[in-house]
Structure 1
Amino acid sequence: MAKYKLEYLWLDGYKPVPNLRGKTLIKEYDNFPTLDQLPNWGFDGSSTKQAEGRSSDCVLKPVSVYFDSTRKNGVLVMCEVMMPDGVTPHVTNARATILDDPGAWFGFEQEYFFYKNGRPLGFPESGYPAPQGPYYTGVGYRNVGDIARQIVEEHLDICLDAGINHEGINAEVAKGQWEFQIFGKGSKKAADEMWVARYILQRLCEKYAIDVEYHCKPLGDTDWNGSGMHANFSTTFLRETGGKEYFEALMAAFDAAKAEHIAVYGPDNHMRLTGLHETQSIDKFSYGLADRGASIRMPHSFVKNGYKGYLEDRRPNSQGDPYQIASVILKTIESVPTVAQLKAASA
């Protein structure tokens, strides 16, 4: 038997953006624990905006488990927040009620800024560095500094050790801005891995005295790009059948649901979706071939394959909740009948 350090992770009740929380439980196991071996665990919800002091008990229900290579016998446990009965989802538990389908695949592109002493890493104490241009996928101290790449490489290794489907990293358009990508099959799996990857990054940055800034436009109304969390998505039908007629019906549904999408794509998105800096205006919907300024970008491969494959929704921002983003995309997709269904209905 070995003593394992179980780091229970959950989302608190802060709005409009929940914070990640974590606390450690020590338990003995013969081997690395499986999900069904992990117990529910209580916490004080009055300290996380999830309960009142006079009735503060909340319950953490494990939903996914990952290896933590930063600790001896370390385990990361993603949890849902439940009411004291351990069965009823808490009102802040977005994961419990979202649409899910293992045939719906999501790839999230998480952009963020490293911050040091209240400014993006690499910015001078006053003013701005040279204009953006050389920083995207940049190399060299002048472009990326002396510590950012070390952090993102460590983050990548820890995520891969954990079994998270981390697919890549790159320096982004603004100085001090970076991106990582997470892919998962199913809304819950993809979103779980994104939240755990965010946690790993924030915890890693503690030892460097650096903060992770997820705000979608931390530099305000300036000529610097904001941060998005572009959502690449496909379904079994979109990958295997697709077709132009179905695609056009799908885009019409996305246009009709744009207000519902924007409502969960992250706060302050009006600051980012201005029609500038490779964005479409927040009140408009568009799609285009390889168009980084469209709401939905079609890759060349999608069109060449007969309107089959994946699409990229460029509107979600870096603060967005991937549970809700994946769910609203899937909800819109499921509202669109396939061509075969339309023919069957009219027969």
Structure 2
Amino acid sequence: MTKYKLEYIWLDGYTPVPNLRGKTQIKEFSSFPTLAELPLWGFDGSSTMQAEGHSSDCVLKPVAVFPDGARKNGVLVMCEVMMPDGVTPHVSNKRATILDDPGAWFGFEQEYFFYKDGRPLGFPEHGYPAPQGPYYTGVGYSNVGSVARKIVEEHLELCLEAGINHEGINAEVAKGQWEFQIFGKGSKTAADQMWVARYLMMRLCESYGIDIEWHCKPLGDTDWNGSGMHANFSTEYMRTVGGKAYFEAMMKAFEKNWKEHIDVYGPDNDKRLTGKHETAPWNKFSYGVADRGASIRVPHSFVKGDLYRGYLEDRRPNSQGDPYQIASQILKTISEVPVSKSAAA
């Protein structure tokens, strides 16, 4: 038997953006534990905005498990928060109620800022560095500094060791801003991996004395890009059938539901979606081929040969957004669009 370090990870009850929480227990198993072998575990919900002090018990229900490359015999356990009966989802548990479809694929592009001493990494104590331009996919100390690339490379390795489908990294448009991409099949799978990837990044940065700033526009109304979490999405029907008529009907559904999307795409999006810095206005829906300033960017590969088949990119979700709710809202809107029964068959 081997003693494993189980890190139970969950989302707390803070609003409008939940925080990641984690605590460790040690359990013996004959081999790396399966999800079915992991027990429920209680915690004090009064300390996480999920219960009152006079009745503080909440329960963690494991829903996904990953190897933890930073620990010997380490296990990362993504959890849902349940009521004391261990069966009823807590009101803060968004994962339990979202729309899911294993045939729906999501690729999230997570942007964020490294922060140290109250400002983006590489910013001078007063004022701003040189204007945006050389930082995006930049190389060299003057562009990316001496520590950021080390962190993102270590984070990449931790994600890969965990079995997270990490698809790439790059320095972003603003100094101190970076991005990583996570791909998954199904709302819950993709979002589980994104939340664990966020957790790994935050935990890693502890040893560097650096924080992650997830806010979508931390520098306010300045000439510096904000941070998004662009959601690339497709369903099996979009990938195999598609068609111009279906695409146009889908865009009408997205336009009709623009408010429902903005409501779950992350707080303060009006500060980021201004029509500047490669964004569409938050209250005006648009789409266009290769248009980074549209709400939905349509790749050239999607319209190639007039097939209108493949994936689309919703550029409105922001860096603070909850991937569970983002994926679910996208699927909900797509489900309103009728499909050709003959083509689907």
TM-score (norm 1): 0.98
Q: In the TM superposition, what are the counterparts of 1:200-219 in structure 2 within 5 Å?
A: 200-219=200-219
Note the C-alpha offset of 1:343: 12
Give the AA of the match of 2:144: V
Give the AA of the match of 2:278: E
Query: What secondary structure does 1:39 align onto?
Result: coil
Counterparts in 2 of 1:341 and 1:93: CA distance versus 1, 3 Å: farther
Of 58-67 and 299-308, deviating more is 299-308
Note the C-alpha offset of 1:76: 0.2
Counterparts in 2 of 1:163 and 1:343: CA distance versus 1, 3 Å: closer
Give the AA of the match of 2:259: A
Q: 2:342 & 2:49 partners in 1: Cα distance?
A: 46
Note the C-alpha offset of 1:340: 3.6
Q: In the TM superposition, what are the counterparts of 1:177-196 in structure 2 within 5 Å?
A: 177-196=177-196
Give the AA of the match of 2:63: V
Where does residue 112 of structure 2 map in the other structure?
112
Note the C-alpha offset of 1:152: 0.1
Q: 1:148 & 1:34 partners in 2: Cα distance?
A: 34
Where does residue 330 of structure 1 map in the other structure?
331
Note the C-alpha offset of 1:46: 0.1
Query: What secondary structure does 2:93 align onto?
Result: coil
Measured against aligned partners, the alpha-carbon deviations of 1:217-246 in whole angstroms (never above 9, x if no partner) come to 000000000000000000000000000000
Where does residue 91 of structure 2 map in the other structure?
91
Counterparts in 2 of 1:97 and 1:48: CA distance versus 1, 3 Å: same
Where does residue 173 of structure 2 map in the other structure?
173
Query: What secondary structure does 2:21 align onto?
Result: strand
Q: 2:151 & 2:38 partners in 1: Cα distance?
A: 31
Whether 2:55 is the aligned partner of 1:55: answer: yes
Where does residue 339 of structure 1 map in the other structure?
340
Give the AA of the match of 2:310: G
Q: 1:338 & 1:256 partners in 2: Cα distance?
A: 18
Q: How many residues align?
A: 344
Where does residue 315 of structure 2 map in the other structure?
314
Measured against aligned partners, the alpha-carbon deviations of 1:35-84 in whole angstroms (never above 9, x if no partner) come to 00000000000000000000000000000000001001000000000000
Whether 2:25 is the aligned partner of 1:36: answer: no
Give the AA of the match of 1:335: E
Are 2:111 and 2:227, in contact at CA under 8 Å, matched by a contact in 1? Answer: yes
Measured against aligned partners, the alpha-carbon deviations of 1:276-320 in whole angstroms (never above 9, x if no partner) come to 000000110000000000000000000005100000000000000
Give the AA of the match of 1:180: F
Note the C-alpha offset of 1:341: 7.4
Q: 2:243 & 2:344 partners in 1: Cα distance?
A: 15
Where does residue 247 of structure 1 map in the other structure?
247
Give unpaired runs (5+ residues) of structure 1. none
Where does residue 258 of structure 1 map in the other structure?
258
Query: What secondary structure does 1:113 align onto?
Result: strand
Are 2:279 and 2:292, in contact at CA under 8 Å, matched by a contact in 1? Answer: yes
Where does residue 151 of structure 2 map in the other structure?
151
Where does residue 224 of structure 2 map in the other structure?
224
Note the C-alpha offset of 1:180: 0.2
Where does residue 27 of structure 1 map in the other structure?
27
Query: What secondary structure does 1:302 align onto?
Result: helix
Counterparts in 2 of 1:149 and 1:249: CA distance versus 1, 3 Å: same
Query: What secondary structure does 1:76 align onto?
Result: strand
Measured against aligned partners, the alpha-carbon deviations of 1:149-180 in whole angstroms (never above 9, x if no partner) come to 00000000000000000000000000000000
Where does residue 277 of structure 1 map in the other structure?
277
Where does residue 303 of structure 2 map in the other structure?
303
Q: 1:343 & 1:190 partners in 2: Cα distance?
A: 25
The sequence identity of aligned pairs, in percent, is: 79
Measured against aligned partners, the alpha-carbon deviations of 1:192-226 in whole angstroms (never above 9, x if no partner) come to 00000000000000000000000000000000000
Give the AA of the match of 1:334: S
Give the AA of the match of 1:249: A
Q: 1:317 & 1:66 partners in 2: Cα distance?
A: 26
Note the C-alpha offset of 1:339: 3.3
Query: What secondary structure does 2:106 align onto?
Result: strand
Counterparts in 2 of 1:115 and 1:343: CA distance versus 1, 3 Å: closer
Are 2:241 and 2:344, in contact at CA under 8 Å, matched by a contact in 1? Answer: no
Give unpaired runs (5+ residues) of structure 2. none
Q: 1:58 & 1:199 partners in 2: Cα distance?
A: 21
